[in-house]
Structure 1
Amino acid sequence: MQSDDESQTLSRRILRLSLHLSPIPRSLSDPEQNLQMLTCAARAKLNVNTASLSDYMRGKHRDIQERIFDYFNSRPQLQTPVEISKDDHRELCMRQLVGLVREAGIRPFRYVIEDPSKYFAILEAVGGIDMSLGIKMGVQYSLWGGSVINLGTKKHKDKYFDGIDNLDYPGCFAMTELHHGSNVQGLQTAATFDPITDEFIIDTPNDGAIKWWIGNAAVHGKFATVFARLLLPTYDSKGVSDMGVHAFIVPIRDMKTHKTLPGIEIHDCGHKIGLNGVDNGALRFRSVRIPRDNLLNRFGDVSRDGKYTSSLPSVNKRFAATLGELVGGRVGLAYSSVSVLKLSATIAIRYSLLRQQFGPPNQPEVSILDYQSQQHKLMPMLASTYAFHFATVYLVEKYSEMKKSHDDELVADVHALSAGLKAYVTSYTAKALSTCREACGGHGYAAVNRFGSLRNDHDIFQTFEGDNTVLLQQVAADLLKQYKQKFKGGTFAVTWNYLRESMNTYLSQPNPVTARWEGEDHLRNPKFQLDAFRYRTSRLLQSVAVRLRKHSKSLGGFGAWNRCLNHILTLAESHIESVILAKFIESVQSCPDPSSKAALKLVCDLYALDRIWKDIGTYRNVDYVAPNKAKAIHKLSEYLSFQVRNIARELVDAFDLPDHVTRAPIAMQSSAYSEYTQYVGF
C-alpha cells in the first residue's frame, strides 16, 4: 500500500511528464484536476477540412502551379539531382527554363504587367522545383524584362517584348557594382552622350565600377540593362553635366555566334554558397557605343541635339521613380521566401510526426512532435508561415493595384511595405531553415532531405534586391516621415493608418486594470493582440524621434541616425509585425469555411502571443503587462503550441505540396523510411 505522500509524489511526477508532452495554461495547484483537464484538452482536437483550407490558401492560380508541377514531374531529365557540378547545374537550369516556356507553354513575361499575382504564383511553383530556376526566371522576366517594360517606352516594348518572352533575347540586370550595391545613387559606370554619332558611350571608369554578381551574364545573357550615370557634354569649363543614374540596353554577346562583343569584358563570379544554377558574372565596359534609342527613356530622355528632358523636376525624383518601378523584385522575393518556409516547415513537421523516440516505460515510443521542446521549435514557426502567407498575398494585391492605378500614394506605400516584408520575412526564413534542420536531427543533415540546399540557396535572399538592414532603415525613415507629417496635418499612407491615433490611444498611460487581465478570452481577443503590437510600435516611433532630435544637435543628421540605428531597426521590425498581424486577423475573419476559420484563429492566436512573449521585456518595462499577465501569456502560448500540434499534419497538408515537390524522403506522406533506405541502396 502506498502512503498519501507517496501517492501525491507519484501524481506530481506523472503531471510533470504529461505537461512536457502537453502543456496547459492552468494553475498547478491541483494535480488531479489538471490531469483531467489535460485528457479533455487532448480530445478537443479541431476537425480541419484540409481541402477547404488549401483552397483558401492557394487562391485563384492553383491550376497554373499544378501544370508546372506536373510538367517537371513527367520529365525526370529536367529534375535537379542532389549532386551536380556548377557548370552542369547552369546548363540544366537553362534547359528547365526553355522547357517551361517553349514546351510547357508557360509564358511568365506576359503576366509581369497584365496580372502580377499570376506571375508570382508561377515564380513560387518554379522555385519549388529548383530555387536557381526561380531566380533565373526572375532575372529574365522581372529584372531584365521588367526594366525594359517599366523603364522604357513603346519603342522598346515593340522591339524587345517577343524576344524576351520566348527566350530569344536572354538578358541581365546590371545594377550592382564591386564598390556599390545598396547605394545605387553612388554607381560610377558612365554613359556619355556623343552628339556627333548620336550614341552613348558606356565606360567602366575604375575597377570599383565593374558590374558584379550579374545573373545570366557569365554564360547565357545576350543583353544587359546597364545602370549608369547619364553624362551630357556642356561645352564649358565643367565639360559634362551629370543627370543621375539611368538605365540603358547594352548588347553584350553576338546574337548568332554568342561571342562577347568588342569593348565588353565578361568574367565568371565562380562557385557560390548556393544558387549555382544561376550564372553570375562580372562586366567591364571599355568605350562601348550604343544607339541613343537604347536609353530607357520613360523618366528622362535625350534629344538628337543633346538636350535632356524629363517630366520629373529633379535627379532625386527621377531616381525614386526609377527604383519605384523595380519594386516587383522585392515583392517576388518576399513571396518566394514564404514558399521556402512552407517547404522546410512541411519537411520538418512531417518528419517530426513520423519519428518516434523514447516514452513512458513499457509503452510505445512517442512522436517527437509530442515533446514540448519540439513544439516550441516548430509550432510558432508554422504559425509564422501562415501569417507571412497572408501578409505577402496582401502585398501582391497592393502591388497589382499599384501597377494598374499608378497612384503616387499607393506607389510609396508599396515601396515601404515591400521593403519591410522582404527584409523581415527573408531574415526569419533564413533562421527557420537552420531550426528545421536541427529539429530533424542527423537525418536533416542528409543532402537528399534538402535543408542544406534550401538554406544555401535562400541565404542570399537577405542581400539581393536590397540588403535587409538597409531596407529596414527605409521603412523606419518612412515611419518617421509619417510621424512628422502628423504634426503638420498631413495624411497617412494606407498601411500606416493606425498611426493616426497612436499619439493618443497608444501612448497614453497603460490602464493598470487591463494590464492585469489574464483570462483566455481576453488574451485571445484580436483587439488586445493588435493593440499590444501597435502600442509597442508607437512608443518606439516616439522614442526614436525624440532621440534623433536630441542627437542631431551635436552629431548632425547622419551621426544621429547612426547613433540610434539599432533602435531604428527595432522600430521597423515592430511595425512590420503589426502589419503582418493585422492582415492575418483580417484573413481569419474573411475565411468562409467554419473549420478552416477555427484552425486559422488558433494559429493566429499562437503567432500573436508568441511574438508578445518573445518581447515581453518591452511590455513589462512600461507596465503594459503586469507580472501575472506575462505569466498567463507564456502559459497560454505553450498551450496553443500543443493545440496547433494536434492539427499540424492538416496545416502543412493545406500547403498542398505533393511528394514530388517536397522531394525529401523524410517528408513523404507514406513509406518515408522505405524511400529513404532505398535512396542509399537497400
Structure 2
Amino acid sequence: MSAQRVAVLQRQLQATIPAGEASSSALQPQPTSAIALRQLPRFDVTLMEHFLDNQLALKAEVYELFRQHPELLVAEEEGMTKEEHRELVRKCLRVILAAGFSPMSFFARDHAKYFNLAELLSLVDLSLTVKLGVQYSLWGGSVINLGTERHRRKYFDDIDRFRLPGCFAMTELKHGSNVAGLQTEAILDVHTDEWIVNTPDDGAIKWWIGNAAEDGKMATVPSPDGSGALDDHGVHAFIVPLRDDGGALWPGVEIHDCGYKVGLNGIDNGAIRFTSVRVPRENLLDRFATVDRSGRYSSPMTSATKRFAATLGELTGGRVGLTCASVGVLKGALTIAVRYSAQRQQFGPPDAPEVAVLDYPSQQMKLMPMLATCYALYFAKNKLVEKYCEMKRTKDEVLVADVHTLSAGLKAYTTSYTNTAIGICRECCGGHGYAARPAASSLCTSSADIFQTFEGDNTVLLQQVAALLLKEYRDSFRGSPLAATWSYLKVWAQDSLPANPLVTHETDVSHLRDPAFLVRALRYRSARLLHTLAARLRKHSRRVGEFTAWNKCLLHVLALSRAHIESVMLVEMLAAVNACVDPDCRRSLKALADLFALDRIYTDITFRNDDYIAPEKAKAIYRLIEALCGEVRGVAVPLVDAFAIPDHILRSPIGLSTTSVDPYSEYLAAAGFDS
C-alpha cells in the first residue's frame, strides 16, 4: 500500500525543474522523476525587471537609502510600543526628506513618482507608507487640490518638509463613508469675518484621524453643515488649527489618542472635538466655491451635486496610493512564499531526496494563481496611475469619472485580495511563516487589513463602481456616447446572445488560451450581471422603492463590480503581453494571463449556469489550470525575482534571494545557539 501511495505521489509531481537563473534562481530544487510537462523558457530576470519597472533609479535610490540606515528597518511585530513605533516612522520620514526627496512636489507635479514611492515604502513599513499618505496625499493634497494658489503659496513648503504636520479630518464616530451625512458645523460670523467650527454632539467627534494624536498642527475639516453662508450648498473643506508651534492645543480643540490598534501603530490616530473654534474666512478651501466678506456665496459649479463630485474627485489620489501600496505588499508576500516553497524540502520517495514543497500540485494551486493575479493587478495599477496622471493634466470630465470608478474598484479589489493572499502565503510557509522576524511585515495581515476600510470602505466603493456601470448602461440605451473604458457595453446585445453550442463545448487548448475567448468570457460575465441587475432593480423599485431595491440586490451589485474589475485586469495584462518585446518574458506573461483568466472562469458558477461553459469544457479548463500551474512553477522563482526586492528590505530569512546563507541561521542565533 505504501509503495502504491508513493507511485501516486510521483505521478502527481510536476515537471523536472529547469536549471537555476541568476540571483535567487539558485533556490530551484534538484530535478525529480516527475512526469514532464511543457516547460516555459527560462527568461532573463533583469529584462523582466526592466519591463515591469520604468522607475528603476528611484527604486535603487530608496532601497539604498534604507540599506545605509539598517536601524530604521525594524518590524512592527518585534515588541515596540506605539510611541516607539511612531518615533521610528518620524525618523524614517526625516531621513527621506534629508536625502533630498520632496514628496509634496512628487504629489503635485510627478504623480507617478509619488505613487511609486508609496509602493516602495510599503515593504519598509506600512505605517511609514500611511504616514506619507496622510501628510502628503490627504492633508497636502486637500490644500493644493481644494484650495487656491493663495493656499498653495502659504502652506506648500512647510507641508513638504514636515514642518507643518497635518490631518484630513473627515471620519466621524457615527459617520464614516457617508460623507454627505457628516455633522460637523461651519458657520460664518460676518461680524468678525471668521468661521465657527463646532462639533454638535458626540457622534460628530472626528475619529481615527491620522497625525492627530501627537503630530498634527492643522487639519482639513470637511463640513456639510447648511447654516449661514453655506446653506444648501453641500460639503466644503476648511483648514482648522489644532496645535500651536509649541504643541499646545488650540483654543476649543480637544484631542485624545485612539490608542493601540491591531496594526499600523506607527500612526498617531486621534479623536478630535471642536468647540466653537474660530478660523479666518480665508481658511475655506475655495477652489470650487467662495464666500465674500458680506457672506455672499459664489461658485463656478452650477450645482451642489457637481461641487460634491468635484471635491471628492480631487481626493482619489488616496485610493490610488493604497492600491499601489497593496500591490507592493502582495509582491513581498509572494516573494517570500514562492522562494521558501522552492527551497523547502518535504517528504519524497523511499531512498531518494526529499521533494520541494513547490513541486506539490496542492502548493502550486495555492500560489501560482495568486502570482498570476499579482502580475495582473500590477499592470492594472499601472494603468490607473497613467489615467490619474492624464486626468490631472487634462481635467477631462469623462476621465475624472473614469478614474474615480477605476480607483474605487481597484482599491477595493486589490486591498481585499492582498489581505486574503497574505494569509495563504503565510500558510504556505508553514510554522516558519508565523514567526514575526522571519516573515517580517510581508506575511502579517494586521497592518494591511485596515486598507480595506480607510479611504472608503470596500463594500461602499464597489457600490460606486456598480452605480456608474448602471448609469453607463442606461445611457447606452438613450444613445449617449460611452467612454472607452465602458465600450464593451456597446456589444452587450451581441455578447448576451446564447453562446454558439460548438464554442460552448470546445475543449482545444489553443481555443482555451485564445485571448479573444478569455476577454469575451470575462466581459460576458460583466455584461450578463449588469443586464440582470438592471432588470432586478427595475422590478423591485416599482414595489419597494429604490433604496430597498438596491439593498435587496446588494450581493449582485458587489459581484458585478468585482467581475468588471477582473475584466479590466485581464485586458491590461494582455496589453502588457503584447508590449513585451523579449519572447521568453512574453511567454511567461502570457501563461500568467491565461492562468488568471481561466481560474476566474472555472471558479464562477455564472458561466455554467448560463451554459456558457459546458461540463466537459469546465473539466478541460480545470486540467489546463493544473498544467499551467506546473508550467508557471518552473519560472515562479525568477518571476518573483523580477520584483527585485532586496533582502535587506524583505527582511525574511525564509525568503532570501540566494541560498548562500543558511535561512535557519538567524533562528539559531536568536535562540542562543552558536554558529
- What interval of TM-score do these two structures reach, taking the shorter chain for normalisation? over 0.9
CA distance in 2, matches of 1:134, 1:73: 18
Q: How does 1:32-71 map to 2 (within 5 A)?
A: 39-41=35-37, 44-59=39-54, 61-71=55-65
Of residues 80, 85, 94, the one that matches 1:84 is 80
Secondary structure of residue in 2 paired with 1:202? strand
Secondary structure of residue in 2 paired with 1:226? strand
More displaced stretch, 650-659 vs 105-114: 105-114
Say if 2:153 is the partner of 1:158.
Answer: yes
Amino acid at match of 2:121: V
CA distance in 2, matches of 1:19, 1:430: 34
1:254 aligned residue:
244
Say if 2:276 is the partner of 1:287.
Answer: yes
CA distance in 2, matches of 1:275, 1:17: 43
TM-score (norm 2): 0.94
Higher relative contact order (CA 8 A, sep 6+): 2
CA distance in 1, matches of 2:669, 2:5: 42
Of residues 566, 587, 593, the one that matches 1:598 is 587
Contact 1:337 1:458 in 2 (8 A): yes
CA distance in 1, matches of 2:442, 2:300: 49
1:142 aligned residue:
137
Contact 1:112 1:146 in 2 (8 A): yes
Say if 2:671 is the partner of 1:680.
Answer: yes
Of residues 438, 452, 466, the one that matches 1:476 is 466
| Structure 2 gaps, min length 5 | 17-31
Say if 2:531 is the partner of 1:542.
Answer: yes
CA distance in 1, matches of 2:15, 2:584: 23
- What per-residue deviation string (whole Å, max 9, x for no partner) do you get for residues 427-458 of structure 1? 11111011011111111110111258731110
CA distance in 1, matches of 2:203, 2:505: 59
Secondary structure of residue in 2 paired with 1:271? coil
2:162 aligned residue:
167
Secondary structure of residue in 2 paired with 1:106? coil
CA distance in 1, matches of 2:484, 2:464: 17
Amino acid at match of 2:472: Q
CA distance in 1, matches of 2:74, 2:141: 27
Amino acid at match of 1:63: A
TM-score (norm 1): 0.93
Alpha-carbon deviation of 1:46?
A: 1.6
Say if 2:99 is the partner of 1:98.
Answer: no
Say if 2:199 is the partner of 1:199.
Answer: no
CA distance in 2, matches of 1:395, 1:344: 22
- How well do the aligned residues superpose, as a CA RMSD in angstroms? 1.8
Contact 2:369 2:599 in 1 (8 A): yes
More displaced stretch, 597-606 vs 224-233: 224-233
Amino acid at match of 2:357: I
- What per-residue deviation string (whole Å, max 9, x for no partner) do you get for residues 6-52 of structure 1? 9xx98x8676323422289xxxxxxxxxxx9974426x342111100
Alpha-carbon deviation of 1:424?
A: 0.7
| Structure 1 gaps, min length 5 | 1-5, 25-35, 235-239
**Number of aligned positions between the proteins:** 652
Identical residues among aligned pairs (%): 53
Say if 2:449 is the partner of 1:459.
Answer: yes
Say if 2:571 is the partner of 1:571.
Answer: no
Amino acid at match of 2:48: L
Of residues 325, 330, 333, the one that matches 1:341 is 330
Say if 2:233 is the partner of 1:243.
Answer: yes
Contact 2:37 2:630 in 1 (8 A): no
Alpha-carbon deviation of 1:636?
A: 0.3
Amino acid at match of 1:87: E
2:490 aligned residue:
500
Contact 2:10 2:33 in 1 (8 A): no
Amino acid at match of 1:100: I
Say if 2:579 is the partner of 1:584.
Answer: no
1:655 aligned residue:
643
CA distance in 2, matches of 1:531, 1:314: 40
Note closer, same or farther for the CA distance 1:500–1:37 as it changes in structure 2 (3 Å cut).
farther
Amino acid at match of 1:111: F
Q: How does 1:211-360 map to 2 (within 5 A)?
A: 211-233=206-228, 241-255=231-245, 257-360=246-349
Alpha-carbon deviation of 1:680?
A: 3.2
Say if 2:390 is the partner of 1:401.
Answer: yes
Secondary structure of residue in 1 paired with 2:262? coil
Amino acid at match of 2:379: F
Secondary structure of residue in 2 paired with 1:647? helix
Note closer, same or farther for the CA distance 1:659–1:548 as it changes in structure 2 (3 Å cut).
same
Alpha-carbon deviation of 1:83?
A: 2.4
Secondary structure of residue in 2 paired with 1:522? helix
Secondary structure of residue in 1 paired with 2:255? strand
2:507 aligned residue:
518
Contact 2:122 2:128 in 1 (8 A): yes
Alpha-carbon deviation of 1:516?
A: 0.9
Contact 1:23 1:372 in 2 (8 A): no
2:69 aligned residue:
75
- What per-residue deviation string (whole Å, max 9, x for no partner) do you get for residues 396-419 of structure 1? 000000000000000000000110
Amino acid at match of 1:17: L
Alpha-carbon deviation of 1:204?
A: 0.3
CA distance in 2, matches of 1:181, 1:579: 29
1:20 aligned residue:
12
Alpha-carbon deviation of 1:494?
A: 2.3
Contact 1:507 1:539 in 2 (8 A): yes
1:375 aligned residue:
364
Amino acid at match of 1:546: A
Q: How does 1:102-121 map to 2 (within 5 A)?
A: 103-121=98-116
CA distance in 2, matches of 1:590, 1:75: 38
Secondary structure of residue in 1 paired with 2:545? helix
Contact 2:364 2:633 in 1 (8 A): yes
